[in-house]
A and B are shown apart, each in its own frame.
Chain A
Amino acid sequence: MQTMRMGVAGSWSVETQADGAPARPGGDLATTTDAHAARPGQDTRPVPSPRTPPADDRSPGHAGVVSARRAFALVTLSLGVLALLRTPAAVHAGEGMPPGRTRDTVLAVARPLDRVTRPLGLDRPGERLAALFGHDRADSHSELATAASREASATGSGPGGTISGGAPTAPAPVPPRIPTAGDPLRVLVTGDSLTESLGPRIVNTAPRTVRATTDTRFGTGLVRPDFFDWASHAHDQLDQEDPEAVVVALGANDGQGITLPAGAVLPAGSAGWLDEYRRRALVLLRIWTDGGTRRVYWTSLPPARSDRLDGFFRQLNGAVADAARQVPGARFLDLAPALSDHGRYSDYLRDPAGHTVQARTRDGVHLTLDGARLAAAPILAALAADFSLESPIPRQAG
């Protein structure tokens, strides 16, 4: 691809060649290379004063110099047509943005456009092409929100409701088997960007009787199934990976209001918001535990540097812990003891060996590798206890 630039720069050099370079001796030598061969006639150029600014873009033989008006037309029309043909992608991108003016603006433009262009079939070329490359069209209906609304009707109002009617009747989870090195425990670590460092850490430090995989979905959460639907993805995960244990770290992006399918908005931090969140967590936990046949370890959101965010995280942790209590096979793991300085946020923490390590990244939310190591310990301990694993052998030296 650099040759593209090469050619690009090559044509550039044709005109700048004349900017200030004297006729070059040895031009015949130069033409023995293909780059030079691409620039015929350069040695016959007149030689302007060395101080002349490079203003001869329109010198004969030069490729691709147009007026600013035409360049702007090319860029605008290209982007404009592309936008018309890709309105679904624009809507998707808008839905994936954090709440704010940018998101509102993008959606305010993209959604009406989408409503116009779809009936006209303008999204079809892109769709056909995508199908050609083996991509399914993203399903726009969100299972998570629908299932959560059913949950609501079964639970009735009020938080901390009883086990809902949608739950499997099995009151206790299936007792776990004892994995061996030959037939290791299948563990899936999944969630949002929090799993980016946590997943590999668990994968790398788990004992030999565990075979762990990571499935990270950046920028996702339970609040915006319109952007990424965790419910349908959880089904896919069970089909594809058949995990015996699922470790979940999810919710770092969820400190924002929930828009219900009907259009009502539940502001972040409100009681209705928290209740809806609990219901959605419940739906997911039910899918992953699969009637108690699989274990789920939903880890708490780590303390956050931002007080506002930390407040949301505490609320979300409470809601998920509440939901986990209602689902057989699900466990809520509070990582705060491992990831905080006596409950308070801290960039630097002491590891079990007594060394100070930087546990958190600059954003005050995510974990560094060292932080992930601290977080992985209680998770592995829980796995080890439930599945009678040999004690985790850290393969990594500090």
Chain B
Amino acid sequence: MRRVVFPTIEFAAFFLAVMAVSWWLMPRPRLWKPFMLAASYVFYGYTDPRFVLLLVASTLVNQAAACAIARRRDRRILIIAIVADLGLLGWFKYYGFFALSVDRMLDDIGLGAPLPLLQVALPVGISFFTFQALSYVIDVWRGDTRPAKLIDFAVYEAFFPHLVAGPIVRAREFIPQLASPRDRSAVPATRAVFLICGGLVKKVVLADLLARRLVDPVFDSPGQHSSVEVLVAIYAYAVQIYCDFSAYSDIAIGVALLLGFRFPDNFDRPYAATSLREFWRRWHLTLSRWLRDYVYIPLGGARRGPRRTQLNLMITMVLGGLWHGAAWTFVCWGAVHGAGLAAERSLAHRHGARDTGEASRGPWRPSRHSHGARDTGEASRGPWPVRLRGRHRPRRGEPAIPVPTEVTAVGLVAIPAPRSVGEERAPASPPVTAPALAAVVAREPAGTGRGDVAVDAVGSTSALAVGRPAAHSPEATATGRWLRRIVTFHVVCGAWVLFRSPDLATAGEIMRRLVTGGFAIGLVTPTVVAAIVVGLGLAAVPARWWTAAQVAFDRLTLPVQVLGVVGFLLAMYSFVGQQDVAPFIYFRF
């Protein structure tokens, strides 16, 4: 039941050894790759060695499929690979849920149990590595990437920093980084240290404190808590899950940086979003862009009319919910987001006609968006809901401004792939108008611009603009933005209730208690409120402060840097006292 997690002695020892050997072997890829593969398998097998076989099997099957597809483009091979991957996921993750649901249903109409009720052990991280493998095979099918060497693909799928809980890195982002040894003279140590230390604080101080002091007690027994406690616990959970999950991503990214590798970012101040659509461009980006590219767009995206688009949104979000776990709470959580996105879309539609001027009016807005995109590296590819607007907007002839910044952002993380790929692919996306397409093909450095990017960029402009009819004076802009931000945050919080509750009955009880529980303060202590405020308020800290802090850290000598890091961590651990770190929430997924 124990596993190697980031803030443990085991991981520290493991990582020091791996980091030393990795840089030592780095100039010799023939040795480095098997070493990294072995290290990752050791990391994965620490919990249960049998699971390594699963990982190896997944690697071999998908690699075989990718190679076969590259040799002869046979759709059947693709289908077999997809079925195999989903079958693996389905068996390990959903069988119990499925069998029990069938059993219940038949039980109600008086039939016996047809399916054996088995309990299948859940291999850690299976959702993550299966999705990575799927994206690889589908990308090869689409011609977006070429089959990698087996050892490269194996290292990519097993690379331990992202193996257990993401981020979901794409093959074409990672495998090119294996093409040449990482530069031993250019390790972004400061950035890595900041990410890791910041992640630890978010996890150990904020997330665990909120869970322990308020969220767990309230969600465990809502009936014994007041409305005030329930309300604050819901806010606290929003902060907790953000701090918990983004902390894991940050630490994973930081650890990868120390080994010389770059991951796309996974979060960009999600609670600053002014719409659900924007929320999904800021929350778990690597998952949402995966869903966009491999579920939403294959379903037809926004190309088949408004009704169908809304249905597609719903299907995508429900599947996204189900990805988190086999439970009706997750399904409902996805459905709430799907319905919210669909509603936003139809609202925006309605206002769309009279706000056309608005769309072309705000050049600062695309740049504001792109600043998020830029910061998150791959963000421009992540936010699939953005693409909703694509069908309607590019024709308005304003793609020129956002496209370059968006494409630039893509270049941050994505590593060069054959340019022809981008050219092949782009025409396949119907909604792209000629200028946008030209912009992508001409400017896209990473071969990732499949037209979607351009559409995204354009779409985001109008998407942001359309929903904000009051944006004509600066005051109204700020007020409107805050209003939308607050509404969005509360919708998201409401959905989190479903996400956190162990079953739907508890979620209902929480909502009931929210209005009937009275006003006792109870567990809402100043510490808890402070943690919530800090967790939310961190989004307001200007980026340049962090940059300045890093520049300042850079100028220090090594001993002073060490003292700084040690002092920081010592203070952090002293603050929380001698307690065990709770497991990361996303380990369950």
Interface-lining segment among A289-297, A320-328, A390-398: A390-398
Contact of A7 with B544 in the complex, beta carbons under 8 Å: yes
A308 lies within 8 A of chain B by Cβ: no
User: Is there an interface contact between A65 and B186, defined as CB atoms closer than 8 Å?
Assistant: yes
Which of A6, A26, A90 is B543 in contact with, Cβ under 8 Å?
A6
Q: Is the CB of B189 within 8 A of A64?
A: yes
Closest chain-A Cβ to B476's Cβ sits at a distance in Å of 19
Residue with the greatest number of chain B CB neighbours at <10 A, chosen from A3, A90, A125, A395:
A3
Chain A residues within 8 Å of B15, by CB: 75
Specify which of A8, A35, A71, A356 is in contact with B550 (CB 8 Å cutoff).
Answer: A8
A130 touches B120 (CB 8 A): no
Q: How many Å from the CB of B281 to the closest CB on chain A?
A: 13
Q: Is the CB of A133 within 8 A of B566?
A: no
Cβ–Cβ contact B550 & A63, under 8 A = yes
Is there contact, CB below 8 Å, between B189 and A13?
no
Complex CA gap A53/B177 in Å reads 8
Q: Are B189 and A130 in contact (CB under 8 A)?
A: no
Q: A38-B547, A133-B574, A369-B502 are in contact. Are A24 and B408 (CB under 8 A)?
A: yes
Check: A98 CB closer than 8 A to any chain B CB: yes
The reply to whether A70 and B189 contact each other, CB–CB distance below 8 Å, is yes
Chain A residues whose CB sits within 8 angstroms of the CB of B580 once the complex forms = 96, 218-219
Are A135 and B574 closer than 8 Å at their CB atoms?
A: yes
Contacts A1-B538, A70-B558, A355-B104 hold; do A64 and B544 have CB atoms under 8 A apart? Answer: no
A4 near B374 with CB under 8 A, answer no
Q: Mark A230-248, 1 if CB is under 8 A from B, else 0.
A: 0000000000000000000
Choose one: A24, A67, A358; the contact of B187 (CB below 8 Å). Answer: A67
Stretch at the interface among B56-64, B230-238, B264-272: B264-272
For the complex, count residues of B whose C-beta is within 8 A of A: 127
* Chain B residues with CB below 8 A from A259, complex form: none
A50 within 8 A of B: yes
Interface residues of B in 1-49 (CB under 8 A from A): 1-2, 8-10, 12, 15-16, 19-20, 23, 26
A1-16 Cβ-contact flags toward B at 8 Å (1 or 0): 1111111111111001
A68 — which chain B residues lie within 8 A by C-beta?
23, 26, 184-185, 187, 260
The answer to whether residues A13 and B416 also contact, given A34-B544, A35-B543 and a CB cut-off of 8 A, is no
Q: Which residues from chain A contact B103 at a C-beta distance below 8 Å? A: 356
A-facing residues in B80-131 (Cβ within 8 Å): 96, 100, 103-104, 107, 113, 117-122
CA distance A341 to B8 in the complex (A): 38
Cα A199 to Cα B217 in complex, Å, equals 10
- The interface stretch among B335-343, B360-368, B383-391 is B360-368
Q: Is B573 an interface residue (CB 8 A)?
A: yes
Asked whether A203 and B188 contact (CB < 8 A) given A74-B565, A77-B558, A369-B502, the answer is no
**A135 neighbours in B (Cβ, 8 Å):** 574, 577-578
Is B375 in contact with A106, judged by CB distance below 8 angstroms?
no
Q: Which residues of B contact A98 (CB under 8 A)?
A: 2
Asked whether A85 lies within 8 Å of B566 as measured between CB atoms, the reply is: yes
Q: Of B1, B23, B412, B563, which one neighbours A363 at CB under 8 angstroms?
A: B1
The answer on a CB contact under 8 Å between A12 and B419 is no
B536 to chain A minimum Cβ distance, whole angstroms, is 10
The interface bits of chain B over 222-245 (1 if a CB of A lies within 8 angstroms of the residue's CB, else 0) are 011000000000000000001100
Instruction: Closest B residue to A253 by CB, please name it.
Output: B1
Please choose the segment from B66-74, B190-198, B294-302, B463-471 that sits at the chain A interface, where 4 or more of its residues have CB less than 8 A away: B190-198
Whether A26 pairs with B119 at a CB distance below 8 angstroms is: no
B180 within 8 A of A: yes
CB <8 Å contact, A79 and B12 = yes
Residues in chain A near residue B533, CB distance under 8 A: none
Contact partner of A2 among B118, B191, B539, CB < 8 A?
Answer: B539
Contacting B at CB under 8 A, from A24-56, are: 24-26, 29-30, 32-39, 50-55
- Bound complex: CA of A32 vs CA of B370, how far in Å? 12
Bound-state CA distance A102–B13 (Å) is 11
Instruction: Note all chain B residues with C-beta closer than 8 A to A72.
Output: 19-20, 23
Task: From the candidates A74, A82, A203, A358, name the one contacting B189 in the complex (CB within 8 A).
Answer: A74
**In the assembly, what is the distance between CA of A97 and CA of B401, in Å?**
57
Q: For chain A, which range describes its interface: under 10, 10 to 19, 20 to 34, or 35 or more residues? A: 35 or more
Asked if B187 and A204 sit within 8 Å, CB to CB, the answer is no
Q: A5-B265, A10-B374 are in contact. Are A64 and B404 (CB under 8 A)?
A: no
Distance (whole angstroms) from the CB of A215 to the closest CB of chain B: 11
Shortest Cβ distance from B503 into A: residue? A369
Q: CA A130 – CA B545 in complex, angstroms?
A: 29
A225 within 8 A of partner (CB): no
Query: Are A51 and B551 also in contact (CB < 8 A) when A5-B265, A36-B367, A64-B189 are?
Result: no
A200 & B558 in contact (Cβ 8 Å cutoff)? no
Closest partner residue, chain A, to B201 (CB atom):
A1
Q: A356: nearest residue on chain B (CB-CB)? A: B103
Give the Cβ gap from A253 to chain B, nearest Cβ, in Å.
10
User: Is the pair A9, B416 in contact by a Cβ cutoff of 8 Å?
Assistant: no
The verdict on A8 contacting B194 (CB below 8 Å), with A1-B201, A20-B445 known, is: yes
Name the distance in Å between A274's Cβ and chain B's nearest Cβ: 24
Chain B nearest CB, measured from A164 CB (Å): 33
| Complex: chain A residue closest to B418, CB-CB | A51
What is the minimal beta-carbon distance from B504 to any residue of chain A, in angstroms? 9
Q: Which residues of A contact B408 (CB under 8 A)?
A: 17, 21, 24
Within 522-561 of B, Cβ neighbours of A (below 8 Å) are at 535, 538-547, 549-551, 553-554, 558-559, 561
A138 interfacial by beta-carbon distance below 8 Å: yes
Tell me whether B213 is interfacial, beta carbon within 8 Å: no
A132 at interface, CB cutoff 8 A:
yes
**Chain A residues, CB < 8 A from B119:** 305, 347-348, 358, 360, 362, 364
Instruction: Please give me the residue from chain B that is nearest to A24 by CB atom.
Output: B404
Question: How close is A121's CB to chain B, nearest CB, in angstroms?
Answer: 14
**In contact, A82 and B566 (Cβ under 8 angstroms):** yes
| B206 → chain A closest CB, angstroms | 8
A204 and B223 contacting across the interface, CB-CB below 8 Å: yes
Q: Which of B378-408 contact A (CB under 8 A)?
A: 400-401, 404-405, 407-408
B459 CB within 8 Å of chain A = no
Q: In this complex, what residue of A is CB-closest to B206?
A: A1
C-alpha gap A171/B220 in the complex (Å): 38
B416 touches A63 (CB 8 A): no
Q: Does B562 contact A (CB under 8 A)?
A: yes
Determine the residue in chain B with the shortest Cβ distance to A130.
Answer: B574
Residue-wise, chain A 287-329 has the 8 Å CB interface mask toward B (1 for contact) of: 0000000000000000001000000000000000000000000
Contacts of A52 in B (CB 8 A): 416
Q: Contact partner of A16 among B206, B412, B541, CB < 8 A?
A: B412
B377 and A7 contact, CB distance less than 8 A = no
Q: A12-B412, A78-B566, A356-B113 are in contact. Are A25 and B404 (CB under 8 A)?
A: yes
Q: Are A396 and B509 in contact (CB under 8 A)?
A: yes
Of the A-B pairs whose beta carbons lie under 8 Å apart in the complex, a sample of 11, sorted by A's number, is: A2-B246, A5-B250, A50-B411, A50-B419, A50-B446, A64-B188, A64-B554, A75-B19, A347-B96, A356-B113, A396-B506
Which of A's residues lie within 8 Å of B, judged by CB? 1-13, 16-17, 19-22, 24-26, 29-30, 32-39, 50-55, 57-58, 63-79, 81-82, 85-86, 89-90, 92-94, 96-98, 102, 106, 125-126, 129-130, 132-133, 135, 138, 199-200, 203-204, 211, 214, 218-219, 305, 347-348, 354-358, 360, 362-364, 369, 395-398
List residues of chain B with CB under 8 Å of any chain A CB.
1-2, 8-10, 12, 15-16, 19-20, 23, 26, 96, 100, 103-104, 107, 113, 117-122, 176-177, 179-180, 183-195, 198, 201-202, 206, 220-221, 223-224, 242-243, 246-247, 250, 253, 258, 260, 262, 265, 267-270, 363-364, 367-368, 370-371, 374-377, 400-401, 404-405, 407-409, 411-413, 415-416, 419, 443-446, 502-503, 505-506, 509, 535, 538-547, 549-551, 553-554, 558-559, 561-563, 565-566, 569-571, 573-575, 577-578, 580
- If A2-B246, A9-B376, A12-B188 are given as contacts, then 5 extra A-B residue pairs at C-beta distance below 8 Å, sorted by A number, are A22-B404, A74-B193, A132-B574, A135-B574, A347-B117
Q: List 8 tightest A-B contacts by C-beta distance, closest first.
A: A7-B546, A20-B445, A64-B190, A57-B186, A129-B574, A200-B220, A50-B445, A347-B119
